[in-house]
């Protein structure tokens, strides 16, 4: 744990892996990081959690081309600007497109996660992100500054 100079008493805590998975399961939009088009790209995607694997629904295109059989990163966070607190979970792993060549049980389980894309258009492709490393951090607020600067009073 470390204290932040910008907020007296604030601490940074590591989040245990099992809690990281619990936090991941509370959201449905995250960001996948891939290397594509000569740049690292970070793009929002819809996802669900299947045990310790992330399932991403996407369309044919940049993400699918760059992520299939590649090492990728995936990040989800929740921030409370008012209390200057929040958490972030980072997953590093290998992405693999799920198709008819896979075991029927795996394809069925992947689709059963029910990931529904928000973006319009064809999103019939499925990726599974097999985690190699999962880490998380949480900022816990300390004593918050007063809502009104005391120097404002006469």
Q: Write the CA distances from 152 to 80, 147, 148, integer angstroms.
A: 26, 11, 7
**Separation of alpha carbons 113 and 127, rounded Å:** 12
> What is the reported pTM?
0.81
The reply to whether 6 falls in a domain is no
Residue 101 belongs to a domain: yes
Angle at 107 between CA 102 and CA 113, to 5 degrees: 150
Reduced to 3 states, what is the DSSP secondary structure of residue 37? coil
CATH for 26: 2.30.110.10
Number of structural domains, the chain?
Answer: 1
> Of 28, 103, 40, nearest to 71 (Cα)?
40
Any domain includes 131: yes
Residue 2 in any domain: the answer is no
**DSSP for residue 150:** G
Q: Is residue 8 part of a domain?
A: no
Please give the structure tokens belonging to residue 71. Answer: 């090492």
Going residue by residue through the chain, which has 154 residues, state the pLDDT in tens, using 9 for 90 and above.
544 445 567 889 999 999 999 999 999 999 999 999 899 999 999 999 999 999 998 888 888 889 989 999 999 999 999 888 999 999 999 999 998 787 888 888 888 888 888 888 777 888 999 999 999 999 988 765 556 666 666 6
Whole-angstrom distance, CA of residue 91 vs CA of residue 21: 10
**Which residues span the domain enclosing 57?**
16-143
């Amino acid at each position: 744990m470390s204290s932040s100079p910008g907020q007296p008493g604030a601490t940074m805590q590591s989040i245990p892996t099992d809690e990281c998975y619990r936090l991941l399961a509370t959201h449905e939009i995250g960001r996948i990081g891939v290397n594509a088009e000569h740049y690292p790209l970070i793009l929002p995607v819809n996802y669900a959690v299947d045990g310790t694997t992330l399932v991403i629904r996407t369309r044919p295109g940049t993400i699918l081309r760059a992520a299939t059989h590649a090492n990728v990163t995936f990040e989800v966070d929740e921030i409370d600007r008012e209390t200057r607190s929040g958490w972030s979970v980072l997953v590093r792993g290998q992405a693999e497109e799920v198709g008819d060549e896979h075991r029927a049980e795996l394809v069925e389980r992947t689709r059963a996660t029910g990931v529904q894309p928000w973006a319009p258009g064809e999103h019939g492709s499925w990726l599974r992100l097999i985690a190699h490393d999962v880490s998380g951090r949480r900022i816990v607020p300390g004593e918050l500054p007063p809502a009104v600067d005391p120097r404002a009073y006469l």
